[in-house]
Amino acid sequence: MSGTGATTKSASPLRRAAAVVGVGHTDWTADWRRVRAGERPADSYGYGAIAFREALADAGLARDDIDGLIVGPTTAYERMSEVLGIEPRWGDQADAVLSVVQAVAAVEAGLAETIALVYGNDQRSAKIQYGGPQAMGGDAFLSYVYHAPWGLTSQGALYALTFRAYCEERGFDPLDLGQVAVAQRAWSSMNPNAVMRKRITLDDYRQAQYICEPLRLYDYCMINDGGVALIITTAERAARLAKPAIYIEAVGRRDLNRGATSLEPRLTDFYLPAQQDCARQVYDMAGFGPEDMDLFQVYDSFSVHVPLALEGYGYCQVGDAGRFLREDGIGPGGKLPTNTSGGHLSETYMQGWAHQIECVRQLRGDCGERQVADCRHAHYTSDVAGKAVSIIYSR
Protein backbone atom coordinates (compact mmCIF):
# COMPACT_ATOMS: atom_id res chain seq x y z
CA MET A 1 0.00 0.00 0.00
CA SER A 2 1.06 3.59 -0.51
CA GLY A 3 0.63 4.71 3.08
CA THR A 4 -2.58 6.68 2.58
CA GLY A 5 -4.44 4.72 5.25
CA ALA A 6 -5.38 6.07 8.66
CA THR A 7 -5.72 4.63 12.13
CA THR A 8 -7.28 7.45 14.16
CA LYS A 9 -10.99 8.10 13.79
CA SER A 10 -12.07 11.59 12.85
CA ALA A 11 -14.37 13.72 14.97
CA SER A 12 -16.16 14.92 11.82
CA PRO A 13 -19.89 15.44 12.44
CA LEU A 14 -20.57 13.95 9.00
CA ARG A 15 -19.20 10.52 9.90
CA ARG A 16 -22.15 8.08 10.09
CA ALA A 17 -24.57 10.99 10.46
CA ALA A 18 -26.76 9.55 7.72
CA ALA A 19 -27.60 6.22 6.13
CA VAL A 20 -29.04 4.82 2.92
CA VAL A 21 -32.31 3.07 3.73
CA GLY A 22 -33.78 2.48 0.28
CA VAL A 23 -32.58 1.91 -3.28
CA GLY A 24 -34.39 1.40 -6.55
CA HIS A 25 -33.88 1.42 -10.28
CA THR A 26 -35.65 0.80 -13.56
CA ASP A 27 -35.45 -2.40 -15.61
CA TRP A 28 -32.34 -1.57 -17.60
CA THR A 29 -32.30 -4.77 -19.64
CA ALA A 30 -35.96 -4.60 -20.68
CA ASP A 31 -35.66 -0.93 -21.62
CA TRP A 32 -32.47 -1.67 -23.56
CA ARG A 33 -34.35 -4.18 -25.69
CA ARG A 34 -37.34 -1.88 -26.14
CA VAL A 35 -35.24 1.10 -27.17
CA ARG A 36 -33.28 -1.01 -29.64
CA ALA A 37 -36.63 -2.07 -31.11
CA GLY A 38 -37.46 1.58 -31.74
CA GLU A 39 -39.67 2.24 -28.72
CA ARG A 40 -39.27 5.08 -26.24
CA PRO A 41 -40.45 3.68 -22.87
CA ALA A 42 -40.15 6.91 -20.87
CA ASP A 43 -38.45 10.27 -20.69
CA SER A 44 -35.87 11.20 -18.04
CA TYR A 45 -38.57 12.19 -15.53
CA GLY A 46 -40.48 8.97 -16.09
CA TYR A 47 -37.39 6.84 -15.49
CA GLY A 48 -36.66 8.81 -12.33
CA ALA A 49 -40.24 8.36 -11.09
CA ILE A 50 -40.10 4.58 -11.55
CA ALA A 51 -36.82 4.37 -9.65
CA PHE A 52 -38.22 6.61 -6.87
CA ARG A 53 -41.24 4.34 -6.45
CA GLU A 54 -38.96 1.30 -6.13
CA ALA A 55 -36.70 3.02 -3.60
CA LEU A 56 -39.65 4.05 -1.43
CA ALA A 57 -40.92 0.49 -1.42
CA ASP A 58 -37.47 -0.82 -0.55
CA ALA A 59 -37.25 1.59 2.39
CA GLY A 60 -40.79 0.92 3.58
CA LEU A 61 -41.58 4.64 3.44
CA ALA A 62 -44.37 6.75 1.97
CA ARG A 63 -44.07 9.79 -0.30
CA ASP A 64 -45.05 12.07 2.56
CA ASP A 65 -41.99 10.91 4.51
CA ILE A 66 -39.73 12.64 1.98
CA ASP A 67 -38.84 16.22 2.89
CA GLY A 68 -35.73 16.62 0.75
CA LEU A 69 -34.94 15.99 -2.92
CA ILE A 70 -31.73 16.01 -4.96
CA VAL A 71 -32.01 15.31 -8.67
CA GLY A 72 -29.40 14.42 -11.23
CA PRO A 73 -28.23 17.05 -13.74
CA THR A 74 -30.43 15.55 -16.47
CA THR A 75 -33.63 16.86 -14.85
CA ALA A 76 -34.91 19.98 -13.12
CA TYR A 77 -35.50 19.89 -9.36
CA GLU A 78 -38.82 21.74 -9.47
CA ARG A 79 -40.29 19.64 -12.27
CA MET A 80 -39.15 16.37 -10.70
CA SER A 81 -40.86 17.39 -7.44
CA GLU A 82 -44.10 17.85 -9.38
CA VAL A 83 -43.77 14.55 -11.20
CA LEU A 84 -43.07 12.65 -7.98
CA GLY A 85 -45.94 14.38 -6.17
CA ILE A 86 -43.84 15.56 -3.25
CA GLU A 87 -43.29 18.91 -1.55
CA PRO A 88 -39.68 18.91 -0.28
CA ARG A 89 -38.63 21.73 2.04
CA TRP A 90 -35.05 21.51 0.80
CA GLY A 91 -33.53 20.41 -2.49
CA ASP A 92 -30.79 20.71 -5.06
CA GLN A 93 -29.33 19.29 -8.27
CA ALA A 94 -26.07 17.33 -8.29
CA ASP A 95 -24.25 14.41 -9.87
CA ALA A 96 -24.19 10.91 -8.41
CA VAL A 97 -21.41 11.33 -5.89
CA LEU A 98 -21.96 14.95 -4.87
CA SER A 99 -25.66 14.25 -4.32
CA VAL A 100 -24.71 11.85 -1.52
CA VAL A 101 -22.26 14.34 -0.02
CA GLN A 102 -24.88 17.10 -0.10
CA ALA A 103 -27.55 14.85 1.38
CA VAL A 104 -25.31 13.92 4.32
CA ALA A 105 -24.48 17.58 4.95
CA ALA A 106 -28.16 18.56 4.73
CA VAL A 107 -29.20 15.86 7.17
CA GLU A 108 -26.49 16.83 9.65
CA ALA A 109 -27.43 20.52 9.33
CA GLY A 110 -31.11 19.77 9.94
CA LEU A 111 -32.21 21.07 6.54
CA ALA A 112 -34.12 17.86 5.89
CA GLU A 113 -34.61 14.52 7.59
CA THR A 114 -35.29 12.09 4.74
CA ILE A 115 -33.94 12.91 1.29
CA ALA A 116 -34.66 11.23 -2.03
CA LEU A 117 -31.83 11.22 -4.58
CA VAL A 118 -33.39 10.71 -8.00
CA TYR A 119 -31.78 10.28 -11.41
CA GLY A 120 -33.40 9.60 -14.77
CA ASN A 121 -31.85 9.65 -18.23
CA ASP A 122 -33.32 8.85 -21.65
CA GLN A 123 -29.94 9.36 -23.30
CA ARG A 124 -30.17 6.46 -25.78
CA SER A 125 -33.78 6.84 -26.90
CA ALA A 126 -33.31 10.62 -27.13
CA LYS A 127 -30.14 10.04 -29.20
CA ILE A 128 -27.97 12.22 -26.97
CA GLN A 129 -24.57 12.86 -28.58
CA TYR A 130 -21.37 12.61 -26.54
CA GLY A 131 -19.20 13.82 -29.41
CA GLY A 132 -19.51 16.01 -32.48
CA PRO A 133 -20.69 19.60 -32.94
CA GLN A 134 -23.93 19.04 -31.01
CA ALA A 135 -22.43 17.02 -28.17
CA MET A 136 -24.77 17.29 -25.18
CA GLY A 137 -26.43 20.34 -26.71
CA GLY A 138 -23.36 21.98 -28.21
CA ASP A 139 -22.58 25.38 -26.66
CA ALA A 140 -24.60 24.57 -23.55
CA PHE A 141 -22.12 21.96 -22.37
CA LEU A 142 -18.83 23.70 -21.71
CA SER A 143 -16.50 20.75 -21.17
CA TYR A 144 -16.99 19.86 -24.82
CA VAL A 145 -17.04 23.39 -26.17
CA TYR A 146 -13.65 24.27 -24.67
CA HIS A 147 -12.07 21.91 -27.19
CA ALA A 148 -14.38 22.55 -30.15
CA PRO A 149 -11.90 24.84 -32.00
CA TRP A 150 -9.62 21.80 -32.34
CA GLY A 151 -12.45 19.41 -33.19
CA LEU A 152 -11.85 17.43 -30.00
CA THR A 153 -15.35 17.03 -28.61
CA SER A 154 -15.28 13.29 -27.97
CA GLN A 155 -14.80 12.14 -24.38
CA GLY A 156 -13.29 8.94 -25.77
CA ALA A 157 -10.64 10.97 -27.55
CA LEU A 158 -9.88 12.91 -24.38
CA TYR A 159 -9.36 9.72 -22.39
CA ALA A 160 -7.38 8.13 -25.20
CA LEU A 161 -4.94 11.04 -24.86
CA THR A 162 -4.89 10.59 -21.08
CA PHE A 163 -4.25 6.87 -21.34
CA ARG A 164 -1.47 7.28 -23.92
CA ALA A 165 0.31 9.79 -21.70
CA TYR A 166 -0.24 7.59 -18.63
CA CYS A 167 1.28 4.55 -20.34
CA GLU A 168 4.38 6.56 -21.29
CA GLU A 169 4.75 8.12 -17.84
CA ARG A 170 4.09 5.03 -15.68
CA GLY A 171 5.27 2.22 -17.95
CA PHE A 172 1.78 0.70 -18.17
CA ASP A 173 1.32 -1.92 -20.91
CA PRO A 174 -1.79 -0.90 -22.88
CA LEU A 175 -2.86 -4.53 -23.19
CA ASP A 176 -3.18 -4.76 -19.40
CA LEU A 177 -6.18 -2.45 -19.64
CA GLY A 178 -8.05 -5.47 -20.95
CA GLN A 179 -7.95 -6.91 -17.44
CA VAL A 180 -10.51 -4.28 -16.43
CA ALA A 181 -13.02 -5.06 -19.16
CA VAL A 182 -12.67 -8.83 -18.70
CA ALA A 183 -13.07 -8.62 -14.90
CA GLN A 184 -16.12 -6.38 -15.07
CA ARG A 185 -17.80 -8.61 -17.63
CA ALA A 186 -17.14 -11.57 -15.33
CA TRP A 187 -18.98 -9.72 -12.56
CA SER A 188 -21.86 -8.67 -14.85
CA SER A 189 -22.32 -12.27 -16.03
CA MET A 190 -23.58 -12.97 -12.49
CA ASN A 191 -25.81 -9.88 -12.33
CA PRO A 192 -29.40 -10.35 -13.58
CA ASN A 193 -29.77 -6.56 -13.86
CA ALA A 194 -26.79 -6.15 -16.22
CA VAL A 195 -27.34 -5.31 -19.87
CA MET A 196 -24.11 -6.99 -21.03
CA ARG A 197 -23.78 -10.46 -19.48
CA LYS A 198 -21.70 -12.47 -21.96
CA ARG A 199 -18.21 -13.08 -20.61
CA ILE A 200 -15.22 -11.98 -22.67
CA THR A 201 -11.60 -13.08 -22.69
CA LEU A 202 -8.37 -11.16 -23.04
CA ASP A 203 -8.22 -12.41 -26.63
CA ASP A 204 -11.69 -10.98 -27.26
CA TYR A 205 -10.49 -7.68 -25.87
CA ARG A 206 -7.32 -7.61 -27.96
CA GLN A 207 -9.17 -8.50 -31.14
CA ALA A 208 -11.81 -5.79 -30.62
CA GLN A 209 -11.64 -2.76 -32.87
CA TYR A 210 -10.02 0.48 -31.79
CA ILE A 211 -12.51 3.28 -31.31
CA CYS A 212 -9.84 5.87 -30.58
CA GLU A 213 -6.44 4.23 -30.27
CA PRO A 214 -5.29 3.00 -27.76
CA LEU A 215 -8.88 2.57 -26.48
CA ARG A 216 -10.85 -0.36 -27.86
CA LEU A 217 -14.55 -1.16 -27.99
CA TYR A 218 -14.60 -2.79 -24.54
CA ASP A 219 -12.94 0.24 -22.93
CA TYR A 220 -16.04 2.37 -23.56
CA CYS A 221 -19.17 2.55 -21.41
CA MET A 222 -22.61 1.80 -22.77
CA ILE A 223 -25.23 4.40 -23.58
CA ASN A 224 -28.62 3.29 -22.30
CA ASP A 225 -31.80 4.63 -20.73
CA GLY A 226 -32.76 4.24 -17.10
CA GLY A 227 -33.28 5.63 -13.65
CA VAL A 228 -31.84 5.22 -10.14
CA ALA A 229 -33.01 6.43 -6.74
CA LEU A 230 -31.69 6.31 -3.18
CA ILE A 231 -33.33 7.31 0.08
CA ILE A 232 -31.03 8.83 2.72
CA THR A 233 -32.13 9.69 6.24
CA THR A 234 -30.69 10.38 9.66
CA ALA A 235 -28.84 7.64 11.48
CA GLU A 236 -31.48 7.75 14.22
CA ARG A 237 -34.41 7.24 11.88
CA ALA A 238 -32.54 4.61 9.86
CA ALA A 239 -32.12 2.49 12.98
CA ARG A 240 -35.91 2.31 13.34
CA LEU A 241 -36.60 1.01 9.83
CA ALA A 242 -36.87 -2.62 8.76
CA LYS A 243 -34.06 -2.76 6.19
CA PRO A 244 -30.44 -2.79 7.42
CA ALA A 245 -29.07 0.75 7.43
CA ILE A 246 -26.00 1.35 5.28
CA TYR A 247 -24.09 4.26 6.77
CA ILE A 248 -22.12 6.91 4.93
CA GLU A 249 -18.89 6.46 6.84
CA ALA A 250 -16.83 9.19 5.19
CA VAL A 251 -16.83 11.67 2.33
CA GLY A 252 -14.07 13.66 0.65
CA ARG A 253 -13.43 15.94 -2.28
CA ARG A 254 -10.46 17.60 -3.95
CA ASP A 255 -10.56 19.61 -7.19
CA LEU A 256 -7.86 20.38 -9.73
CA ASN A 257 -9.14 23.47 -11.52
CA ARG A 258 -5.93 25.18 -12.59
CA GLY A 259 -5.49 24.29 -16.25
CA ALA A 260 -8.60 22.11 -16.19
CA THR A 261 -10.06 23.46 -19.42
CA SER A 262 -6.85 22.56 -21.28
CA LEU A 263 -6.92 19.04 -19.77
CA GLU A 264 -3.68 19.67 -17.91
CA PRO A 265 -4.67 17.78 -14.70
CA ARG A 266 -5.66 14.73 -16.75
CA LEU A 267 -2.69 14.71 -19.09
CA THR A 268 0.13 15.51 -16.67
CA ASP A 269 -1.00 14.27 -13.25
CA PHE A 270 -3.74 11.77 -14.17
CA TYR A 271 -5.80 13.05 -11.21
CA LEU A 272 -3.15 11.75 -8.79
CA PRO A 273 -2.77 14.83 -6.49
CA ALA A 274 -6.56 15.16 -6.19
CA GLN A 275 -6.99 11.44 -5.54
CA GLN A 276 -4.30 11.32 -2.88
CA ASP A 277 -5.70 14.34 -1.04
CA CYS A 278 -9.24 12.96 -1.30
CA ALA A 279 -7.96 9.60 -0.03
CA ARG A 280 -6.46 11.23 3.04
CA GLN A 281 -9.77 12.92 3.79
CA VAL A 282 -11.92 9.80 3.60
CA TYR A 283 -9.46 7.47 5.31
CA ASP A 284 -8.92 9.95 8.13
CA MET A 285 -12.64 10.48 8.59
CA ALA A 286 -13.38 6.74 8.54
CA GLY A 287 -10.43 5.77 10.72
CA PHE A 288 -9.28 3.01 8.37
CA GLY A 289 -7.60 2.75 4.99
CA PRO A 290 -7.49 0.85 1.70
CA GLU A 291 -6.31 -2.38 3.34
CA ASP A 292 -9.67 -2.53 5.16
CA MET A 293 -11.90 -2.14 2.11
CA ASP A 294 -13.89 -5.14 0.93
CA LEU A 295 -15.20 -3.52 -2.24
CA PHE A 296 -14.00 -0.80 -4.61
CA GLN A 297 -16.36 0.99 -6.99
CA VAL A 298 -14.89 3.31 -9.61
CA TYR A 299 -16.71 5.66 -11.96
CA ASP A 300 -15.82 4.00 -15.26
CA SER A 301 -17.10 5.90 -18.26
CA PHE A 302 -13.88 4.45 -19.68
CA SER A 303 -11.82 1.58 -18.32
CA VAL A 304 -8.89 3.99 -17.93
CA HIS A 305 -10.39 5.29 -14.68
CA VAL A 306 -9.70 2.01 -12.87
CA PRO A 307 -5.88 1.83 -12.96
CA LEU A 308 -5.69 5.56 -12.18
CA ALA A 309 -7.89 5.05 -9.12
CA LEU A 310 -6.03 1.95 -7.92
CA GLU A 311 -2.85 4.02 -7.72
CA GLY A 312 -4.39 7.27 -6.57
CA TYR A 313 -6.29 5.77 -3.63
CA GLY A 314 -3.44 3.60 -2.36
CA TYR A 315 -4.57 0.14 -3.43
CA CYS A 316 -1.20 -0.29 -5.10
CA GLN A 317 1.95 1.75 -5.53
CA VAL A 318 2.08 4.46 -8.19
CA GLY A 319 3.28 2.77 -11.36
CA ASP A 320 2.18 -0.70 -10.19
CA ALA A 321 -1.41 -0.84 -11.49
CA GLY A 322 -0.56 -3.13 -14.42
CA ARG A 323 0.99 -5.74 -12.16
CA PHE A 324 -1.89 -5.39 -9.68
CA LEU A 325 -4.47 -6.03 -12.39
CA ARG A 326 -2.58 -9.06 -13.73
CA GLU A 327 -1.51 -10.70 -10.48
CA ASP A 328 -3.77 -9.52 -7.66
CA GLY A 329 -6.90 -9.04 -9.70
CA ILE A 330 -10.14 -7.09 -9.46
CA GLY A 331 -12.54 -9.73 -10.76
CA PRO A 332 -14.25 -12.67 -9.01
CA GLY A 333 -11.67 -14.37 -6.81
CA GLY A 334 -9.32 -11.39 -7.04
CA LYS A 335 -7.73 -9.48 -4.18
CA LEU A 336 -9.86 -6.36 -4.62
CA PRO A 337 -13.42 -6.88 -5.93
CA THR A 338 -13.98 -3.85 -8.15
CA ASN A 339 -17.12 -2.70 -9.98
CA THR A 340 -18.85 -5.89 -8.93
CA SER A 341 -22.08 -5.13 -10.80
CA GLY A 342 -20.20 -4.81 -14.09
CA GLY A 343 -20.02 -1.04 -13.84
CA HIS A 344 -20.63 1.34 -16.70
CA LEU A 345 -18.81 -0.97 -19.07
CA SER A 346 -21.22 -3.90 -18.65
CA GLU A 347 -24.10 -3.31 -16.21
CA THR A 348 -25.60 0.07 -17.09
CA TYR A 349 -24.41 3.61 -17.76
CA MET A 350 -26.19 5.58 -15.09
CA GLN A 351 -23.36 8.11 -14.69
CA GLY A 352 -22.22 6.78 -11.31
CA TRP A 353 -25.65 6.41 -9.71
CA ALA A 354 -25.90 2.63 -10.08
CA HIS A 355 -22.52 2.21 -8.37
CA GLN A 356 -24.12 3.55 -5.19
CA ILE A 357 -26.82 0.88 -5.36
CA GLU A 358 -24.18 -1.82 -5.74
CA CYS A 359 -22.37 -0.59 -2.63
CA VAL A 360 -25.61 -0.75 -0.65
CA ARG A 361 -26.64 -4.18 -1.89
CA GLN A 362 -23.21 -5.71 -1.34
CA LEU A 363 -23.15 -4.39 2.22
CA ARG A 364 -26.64 -5.74 2.82
CA GLY A 365 -25.57 -9.13 1.44
CA ASP A 366 -28.19 -9.06 -1.33
CA CYS A 367 -26.05 -9.79 -4.39
CA GLY A 368 -26.49 -13.52 -4.77
CA GLU A 369 -23.91 -15.24 -6.95
CA ARG A 370 -21.63 -12.21 -7.11
CA GLN A 371 -21.82 -11.42 -3.39
CA VAL A 372 -18.51 -10.39 -1.80
CA ALA A 373 -18.10 -12.46 1.36
CA ASP A 374 -18.45 -10.60 4.66
CA CYS A 375 -18.61 -7.22 2.94
CA ARG A 376 -18.27 -4.51 5.63
CA HIS A 377 -16.76 -1.46 3.91
CA ALA A 378 -17.28 -0.24 0.33
CA HIS A 379 -15.34 2.62 -1.27
CA TYR A 380 -16.77 4.55 -4.21
CA THR A 381 -14.80 7.14 -6.14
CA SER A 382 -15.53 9.44 -9.03
CA ASP A 383 -12.66 11.10 -10.87
CA VAL A 384 -13.92 13.29 -13.71
CA ALA A 385 -13.38 16.78 -15.07
CA GLY A 386 -10.44 17.51 -12.76
CA LYS A 387 -12.15 16.63 -9.48
CA ALA A 388 -11.90 13.63 -7.21
CA VAL A 389 -14.78 12.76 -4.88
CA SER A 390 -15.05 9.68 -2.64
CA ILE A 391 -17.55 8.01 -0.35
CA ILE A 392 -17.01 5.14 2.07
CA TYR A 393 -20.12 3.15 2.93
CA SER A 394 -20.25 0.77 5.89
CA ARG A 395 -22.84 -1.49 7.42
Structural domain that includes position 89:
18-127+223-238
Find the mean pLDDT for residues 298-317: 97
Please state, in angstroms and rounded to a whole number, the distance separating the CA atoms of residues 120 and 125.
Answer: 12
Does 84 fall in a domain? yes
- Beta-carbon contacts of 183 under 8 Å, excluding residues fewer than 6 positions away, are 325, 329, 330, 331, 332, 334, 338, 339
Q: Give 18's pLDDT tier (boundaries 50, 70, 90).
A: very high
Question: How many structural domains does the chain have?
Answer: 1
What confidence score (pLDDT) does residue 12 get? 85
Contact 306, 271 (CB under 8 A): no
**Helical residues (DSSP H) of the chain, grouped into ranges:** 28-36, 44-59, 77-84, 96-109, 142-145, 155-170, 178-188, 202-207, 235-238, 264, 272-286, 305-312, 321-323, 343-346, 353-364
- pLDDT tens by residue, 55-93: 999 999 999 999 999 999 999 999 999 999 999 999 999
- pLDDT tens by residue, 147-189: 666 667 788 888 999 999 999 999 999 999 999 999 999 999 9
| DSSP code for 5 | -
What confidence score (pLDDT) does residue 7 get? 43
Does 152 fall in a domain? no
Does 233 fall in a domain? yes
Q: Is the pLDDT of residue 6 over 60?
A: no
- pLDDT tens by residue, 97-149: 999 999 999 999 999 999 999 999 999 999 888 877 666 554 444 555 666 66
| CA 111 to chain centroid | 26
Does 24 fall in a domain? yes
What confidence score (pLDDT) does residue 386 get? 78
Least confident piece of the model among 3-17, 40-54, 197-211: 3-17
Q: Give 5's pLDDT tier (boundaries 50, 70, 90).
A: very low
Peptide bond into 244 cis (omega under 30): no
**CATH number of the CATH domain containing 117:** 3.40.47.10
- pLDDT tens by residue, 313-372: 999 999 999 999 999 999 999 999 999 999 999 999 999 999 999 999 999 999 999 999
Contact 381, 281 (CB under 8 A): no
| CA 94 to chain centroid | 13
Does 228 fall in a domain? yes
- pLDDT tens by residue, 244-287: 999 999 999 999 888 776 677 888 889 999 999 999 999 999 99
What confidence score (pLDDT) does residue 259 get? 77
What confidence score (pLDDT) does residue 1 get? 37
| DSSP code for 378 | E
Contact 265, 90 (CB under 8 A): no
Does 107 fall in a domain? yes
Q: Is the pLDDT of residue 52 over 60?
A: yes
Find the mean pLDDT for residues 274-303: 97
Question: Helix (H) and strand (E) counts for the chain?
Answer: 15, 11
Q: Is the pLDDT of residue 3 over 60?
A: no
Q: Give 224's pLDDT tier (boundaries 50, 70, 90).
A: very high
Does 317 fall in a domain? no
Does 164 fall in a domain? no
Percent of the chain topping pLDDT 70: 92
Q: What is the mean pLDDT of the chain?
A: 92
Output the DSSP codes for 140-158.
Answer: G-HHHHTTGGGT---HHHH
| DSSP code for 209 | P
For residue 66, give the nearest of 118, 121, 129 by alpha carbon: 118
Contact 230, 58 (CB under 8 A): no
